Structure 1
């Protein structure tokens, strides 16, 4: 009897240890669960997916924290529930969607537990919350950036403020107050719009006429003040900097060394104030993100290191690594960059001494020469060695190169390792996913995207439809018995996403 009791206790304990607050959904219960939830976050995942495995503990922690707030988190195994995932337009893993009474929107928040919790709490609130003396302190400190509209003669927030709040409800907290006691406590004179921040100056008042501010004015005000002078960048906030539209100035440094961090952030803060609106400044952990430093053309592993990146154009401007990183060298580099006196650094592999493959290997230093050659049609694949989709495309792309190998003077089937070679600014494009395939017709220097499927037949059809030069092969000098058979078709999976650096 004692043994049975002990065993029962052990089973209860084991079940408790392994219990999950993440709901498991399938084709049978998906609609009945999701449709009755006012708000629920659903992860569509694959068990083999590395990003899904990394997300899992954060997702579990967030589910437990949000359970008390009556916000559910759920997951769908897309290997077992392929039809269900296809029905919801899932093309990559993990895909997260927010459902409100069964209506989905894309989840665009962070993938760490604190970020997931904050994002879903915002989703649970109205776009604009009422603020009084009773909840003012709690509300203004509830997030990194909180915007409050103070109005004296209306029971509702101004329509322009409400419009901005609805558009950016995923990004910030918005409140409004008609509480006259709070006006005195908050030291504001209505109408007023105030940002409360957990960095730099904690209170920023809109300097224009709050009564006539448009939603665009309010958005611009928040955007101007949403980023600290200097902050540490990582997966949680990287997208904030990307969407700001400003170049990003990185200081790669050992972030655990507080004394060293303090020495550098003091002058970076002064510099950030000087060039405000032209650059964003961040520190970044040189231990965790040394691979990202290499992507920004920092060649060595000597820290600290400094580099400016134009994210949208994928251009990099590293400080000369032979120079010491200090206030003088960094300030000069920044001012010279703003003056247009710094050229971007272009990473390039050496030009191959021989081209022995039927697919021509292109490197950055020769890209402009090939692009400027108006006598050739060029069909080029930009790939990454680690990319599984690229690996599956390789035999098909090699077959395409073999098919046209006799006319490389007219049509060049080419490839470029985009992780080791930068695309020059003169190209007029950049790539964000792999493989990316582009075509340049003879007579022009402009590249167009290839968006068809990856089968050999489709690639050949595209070439025949777009090439300006003759595709007729030179007269054969061998007998028909020696002719090489045409390669067979092989369909390759289309990529769903690019490589994450941060």
Structure 2
């Protein structure tokens, strides 16, 4: 009796912790990955991001099981050789496998994002839509694009299929030549309809359909008019190719909905030209700082042009309301607002071994006819602290050739890199070189020893950086004496 009770409890516990996520080993991995379509997570038990993903991954596995899309995970602290062979260098890493061939997972790490992404992967790039499956298909995802085309219009069909092949990870695509389905959609072919679960629910593209018109149409209408932005959907906005306007407001602010609602007419007026979002200022205060907004004065407003690497914060002494934001956005759209550049004060005296470069004089220093080597650093960065003695020694080495070369450091947490530089810094330290007379920046990728830096400079510098300034002046003086030249007294 007692034995059976214990067995019963064990059975209940096993059922309670049953998982639809398959645990893989080096032995079971090859056969699992060889299936038609699978998703595999490479993780470490101690990883915080992996722990956050786990419940969403479990839920997605259960949902996708009905669609016969298996999901698995590999513990890289146990299967280190397997993870190394798959090129895993961070956790969690998710990969989609088709018959053993891996591809990077491009969806979000939330349940609905995983399910949506994998369902798209399971379908052909374009699904055939008929009157029978029309209603079901157009509600199969948050954003669905259906082309309604005459059966004889092969050119439009090819254009749409080619576009779908390119953007299959982003949208769900269907094509219909069924007269009954076209009638149900109430369109005149050729036409493309976007069905979506937000805003107006439907948008139409009619007339001549090209890859350019499809891309413009998709980007303009596939994001909500004014949605919350987070790490899960940031890439969608970043890749849209148009400026992004943020309303920074605490998620728990009782007036949040009222504030956001007041800006909706502005978002509607500029739809397709500027995307609008609201963002939790309590969670993402650091992002507000990166846009040159000073916490904790909320709500606040700013526009970011991600492609141009420029930012336009609204003066935080002003109220974030319809009138103020509307006027500010119009001025931005008309090019009347200059981008904000955060900069430390220019040092009154340059008494450090290396030149202290700040944003306000970045373009002036870049324009000088000197070879320029810059370390972009963060004061809190351990690698930067470790590099400092070597960097100082490098600066001292060329201290007698300051007319030919500048070895500098740039605090990228307190200064913005001007958009004219043409690059952004993603990690610290980042080291860039620009030869005298050139506009091209070269990334330094070597080791961080003094010898390697010197070797790199000697190989890439335009000027004779090993000839000291005073020696050159002395040689010029000797030349003048020999030629009989002299200054008038």
Question: Which segments of 5 or more consecutive residues in structure 1 lack a partner in the other structure?
Answer: 476-502
Does the CA contact (< 8 Å) of 1:364 and 1:421 recur in 2?
yes
In the superposition, relative to structure 1, how do residues 56 and 405 fare at CA in structure 2: closer, same or farther (>3 Å)?
farther
Q: How does 1:35-114 map to 2 (within 5 A)?
A: 35=34, 37-114=35-112
State the partner residue of 2:415: 421
Aligned partners of 2:439, 2:180: CA distance in 1, in Å? 67
Does the CA contact (< 8 Å) of 1:249 and 1:279 recur in 2?
yes
Aligned partners of 1:349, 1:202: CA distance in 2, in Å? 48
Aligned partners of 1:152, 1:428: CA distance in 2, in Å? 46
| Correspondence for 1:348 among 343, 350, 363 | 343
Tell me whether 1:335 sits opposite 2:330 in the alignment. yes
Find the residue that maps to 2:175 and give its secondary structure: strand
State the partner residue of 2:386: 395
State the partner residue of 1:153: 151
Aligned partners of 1:205, 1:364: CA distance in 2, in Å? 46
Aligned partners of 2:288, 2:406: CA distance in 1, in Å? 33
Residue correspondences, number: 465
| Correspondence for 2:434 among 432, 440, 447 | 440
Does the CA contact (< 8 Å) of 1:382 and 1:435 recur in 2?
yes
Q: How does 1:53-452 map to 2 (within 5 A)?
A: 53-153=51-151, 158-209=157-208, 213-256=209-252, 260-266=256-262, 268-351=263-346, 358-375=353-370, 377-385=371-379, 390-392=381-383, 394-408=385-399, 409=402, 410-444=404-438, 446-452=440-446
In the superposition, relative to structure 1, how do residues 349 and 45 fare at CA in structure 2: closer, same or farther (>3 Å)?
farther
State the partner residue of 1:462: 456
Aligned partners of 1:341, 1:430: CA distance in 2, in Å? 25
Does the CA contact (< 8 Å) of 1:374 and 1:445 recur in 2?
no
How much does 1:473 deviate?
7.5
State the partner residue of 2:480: none
Find the residue that maps to 1:294 and give its secondary structure: helix
- Spell out, residue by residue over 1:356-401, the C-alpha distance to the aligned partner (whole angstroms, 9 max, x if none): 76454433234334323324x3322223456xxx523542453243
- Spell out, residue by residue over 1:187-206, the C-alpha distance to the aligned partner (whole angstroms, 9 max, x if none): 22333321112233322221
Aligned partners of 1:67, 1:456: CA distance in 2, in Å? 56
In the superposition, relative to structure 1, how do residues 445 and 189 fare at CA in structure 2: closer, same or farther (>3 Å)?
closer
Moved more, 98-107 or 42-51: 42-51
In the superposition, relative to structure 1, how do residues 258 and 88 fare at CA in structure 2: closer, same or farther (>3 Å)?
same
Rg (Cα) greater in structure: 2
State the partner residue of 1:499: none
How much does 1:456 deviate?
4.8
Aligned partners of 2:326, 2:460: CA distance in 1, in Å? 49
Aligned partners of 1:445, 1:110: CA distance in 2, in Å? 38
How much does 1:251 deviate?
0.8
How much does 1:34 deviate?
0.8
How much does 1:110 deviate?
0.9
The RMSD of aligned alpha carbons is 2.8
TM-score, with normalisation over the residues of structure 2? 0.86
Does the CA contact (< 8 Å) of 2:190 and 2:207 recur in 1?
no
Does the CA contact (< 8 Å) of 1:442 and 1:469 recur in 2?
no
How much does 1:257 deviate?
5.1
In the superposition, relative to structure 1, how do residues 215 and 255 fare at CA in structure 2: closer, same or farther (>3 Å)?
same
In the superposition, relative to structure 1, how do residues 197 and 106 fare at CA in structure 2: closer, same or farther (>3 Å)?
same
Aligned partners of 1:189, 1:444: CA distance in 2, in Å? 56
Aligned partners of 1:83, 1:472: CA distance in 2, in Å? 51
Aligned partners of 2:46, 2:431: CA distance in 1, in Å? 27
Moved more, 161-170 or 57-66: 57-66
